[in-house]
Each structure stands twice: as C-alpha cells, then as structure tokens.
Amino acid sequence: MNRCFQNVILGAIFVSVAGGSVCVMARDAATYLTNKIKPAVVSLTSFDKDGNEFNQGGGFIINERGDIITHSKVFMDAHSIRVKNFQGNSYSVTKILAEDKEGGLVQLAIDNFESRASPLPLTMILPGVNEQIMVINNSFDSGHFAVTGVVSGVSEIPLFGTIIRIKASFPLSCIGSPVVNMNGEAVGIMAFISTGGEGYALACERLKSLVPVKEQSFSERRGLGEISEEAFYGEGIFLIGNEEYEKAISLLEKAITKDRNYAHAYFQIGYCKNKLGNYPDAIKNLKQAVRLKPEFPEGHFQLGMAYFMQKQYKGAVESLLDAVRSNAQFFEAYFMLGLAYTALERHRDAIEAYWQAIGINKDVPEVHFHLGMAYLQTKNKLMAYEEYKVLKNMNKHLASKLFKMIYQ
C-alpha cells in the first residue's frame, strides 16, 4: 500500500467527527486492531512478602511457549508476581530466562500456560516522527486498553541503541508494555516515563541484547531489589535521549560508584561532557573508558572529538587512529581524522583519510568538499576539480564554493 495513503487511512482511526462520535470506519479499524493485539498482551502485578499488591505493569508474549517480555522495574523488590491475560486467566512467574541488564528487559517463564500462545508480531522497522502508535495499558477494560500517542523523536544512543520518544500522558503502569504500530506490530517496549508523562521506549532491536541467565526461580531473585549499576546506567541513557545531559551524568556517576570498572558508564559521561562543551572533563572520562577497554572504537572516537575541540590536534590524530584500528569501517572517524590532519597541515595524510571515508560511504558531500580543499592545499587543481564535478550532483552550494576556491 502507498505509505502516504496508508497514513491517511490509519490516521482516521483517531479522528473524531463533530459532536464527539467516532466514524464507523475508524471504530471498526480500532476494534480490529485491539482484537488483533489482545491475545498477545498481559498485565503483571507484583506482590510484597505479605501478599500485598504494590506495583503493576505490562508485558507481551514473545513465543508460542508463552514466555513474557517485560521490564525489570515492574517487579523490583517483589516477592511474587502474577500474570493475567485478557481472558482473565492468571498465572505465576516461575523463572527468569534471560535478561538485558542495561536495558532492563527480561524474559519470564510462567506456569501452566495454554498449550499454544499467541506471540505479538515484532518489527525492526522504526516508526517515523509524528507516526501514531498505541501503548498497551495494563488494564483490559475496553475503554482503557491502550494509550494512543505520537512519536516525537527517535534517538540513536552510542553503545546502547535506539530510543523512541512518544508524546502522550502515560501512567507508570505502562512500563513493560509493548509499543504497537497501526499494523499491530510491536516497535518497542516502554521502559521510562518522565515526570511529565512522556514515554521512552526501547526499540525491538534491543531484544537481541537479552542474555540467558543461569536457571533462576523468581523466589531466588528476592533480595535483589537494590538498584544495580546497570539500572543507573539505563536510566541515564533515557535522560541522554532527552538531552538532559547533566541529570544523566549524575546517574552515570552513581553507576561508577557501584562499579569503578564500568567502561561504558565512563564513556557515556564523556559523551555527555562533549555535548555540554566541557571537553577537559570529557577527555578525563574517555581516557578512563579506553584504559578499561582498549579495543573500544567509539571511546577512541569521542576522545578524538574532545581533543579536536580543544585544538589538541596531535592527540585527536592518535585517538582517531586508534578508533579506525579497532574498526576499519568507522566512517566518521576517518572523516574526523582528515579534519585533524588538515589542522596540522598534513594535507597528504588528510587526502588519504578522506579517501578511506569515501571508500566506506561515498554519498556524503562534506567529505568530497574537504577532499577537494586538501587537493588545493597540495596545488593539485585537477583533482580538486574532479571533486567539484562529484559535488555538482550532490550539493550545489558546496560545489559552487569549491569551484570559486579553485578559480579564485
């Protein structure tokens, strides 16, 4: 189906006509989608040692065996947890099968589930900004089955993955619930809700980070309610996704307090410091990250960036070379290496670095522009003109700028 036409049709689901009544087509579509999703979603209720309910959340069925995906926040400090499906059937959690400690995702086994479950379809295709989605609430009441929202942003966090920001007012009980597109596919898992109610979901790709754990019953997990370094790290990640870098640093520092060898936490602090323009502190944290993890291309790259912004170009070159040694396909590192060589007036080295970048991705006009500039610095107008010809079909502004420099 044409995507534009599809968006018009799906958008109609949430459009009300004058007088507050919903058109028949929209009502039927919403009912169809709800009925399609219901068999695959569950609510989870946590209980304390005295059997008192103290937390609720959502989850969904991941396979025909009936295993559940949810978020660890749903049952932190719990002594038991019950799972209920839309038919009202209730089950006990028996085992934790797999866990993604930094993302907080968990895969749970439950007892005596139906012989054939209905897994929720997943998609690795990210939703677009302004795309409408549904977040399944833990209530199966027809009037409160889902909270509808709009994707307000999709952020790629280094070393972590993709976070989907959703504009709506979500109750905390949506934690662990699937985020579903208008095709009835899960695009993410709700993992964080801001004080203003905005939701942050982990993209479904994050499910690949689930690691099988040593067979562990739920009762054996009791007493593990203390917030772990991975939990502090994960919360910090969501704040990075919201560009709240100072708050993120505070949580990441707590992660380091619990684990002084947490290389990824040092990296993220350095990343935040770079974003805030505090390059000296960024250098300190990033140096610690790569000391703990020498084969760390992203760490070396961010360190190179910090050195570059401090005009410490030799340090930038050294770090960026470490980055490409660790990852020979690191396009951004080769590009930055070319810029650092240029700042040191090592133009032939810059040309080589730019060509390495183009060998990985030839469709970035800025690289061709700087390559043309480097050729001019070596008095090679012919090759500079070749880059101008490439730029003509990519970016007319940069092409014109390079042309004027060739013939000025």
The total of other beta-carbon atoms located within 10 Å of residue 172's CB is 14
CB 326 within 8 A of CB 297: yes
Residue 199 has pLDDT above 60, yes or no: yes
Q: Is the pLDDT of residue 170 over 90?
A: no
- 41-225: CATH architecture: Beta Barrel (2.40)
So what's the pLDDT on residue 143? 57
**How does pLDDT run across 256-294, given as a tens digit for each residue?**
999 999 999 999 999 999 999 999 999 999 999 999 999
The DSSP letter of residue 22 is B
Instruction: Tell me the average pLDDT across 176-189.
Output: 92
Q: pTM for this structure?
A: 0.79
pLDDT band at 198 (very low <50, low <70, confident <90, very high): confident
pLDDT at site 76: 78
In this prediction, residue 323 carries a pLDDT of: 97
User: In this predicted model, what pLDDT tens digit does every residue of 288-321 receive, in sequence order?
Assistant: 999 999 999 999 999 999 999 999 999 999 999 9
Does CATH number 1.10.540.10 belong to domain 245-361? no
**Is the pLDDT score of 5 beyond 50?**
no
Q: What is the per-residue DSSP string for 283-329?
A: HHHHHHHHHH-SS-HHHHHHHHHHHHHTT-HHHHHHHHHHHHHH-TT
- The string of pLDDT tens digits covering residues 128-163 is 999 998 887 766 655 567 788 899 999 889 889 899
pLDDT tens for each residue of 351-398: 999 999 999 999 999 999 999 999 999 999 999 999 999 999 999 999
Position 93 pLDDT exceeds 60? yes
Structure-block tokens of residue 151: 């994707």
pLDDT value at position 301? 98
**pLDDT tens-digit series, residues 26-58:** 455 556 777 788 888 998 888 888 888 888 899
Q: The dihedral of CA 375, 380, 384, 386: what is its sign?
A: negative
User: Of 115, 119, 93, 330, which Cα lies nearest the Cα of 204?
Assistant: 119
- Within 10 A of 51 (CB to CB), how many other CB atoms are there? 8
pLDDT for 139 equals 65
Q: CA geometry: angle at 60 spanning 54 and 65, to 5°?
A: 115
User: What pLDDT does residue 216 have?
Assistant: 60
Show the tokens assigned to 303. Answer: 């360190």
State the Cα–Cα distance between residues 203 and 282, nearest whole angstrom: 28
Q: Tell me: the pLDDT tens digits for 52-65?
A: 888 889 999 999 88
Q: Which residue type, as a one-letter code, is found at position 271? A: Y
Mean pLDDT of 167-186: 89
Strand partners, 163: 155, 202
Taking all residues of the chain, what is their mean pLDDT, rounded to a whole number? 86
Domains of the chain, residue spans: 41-225, 245-361
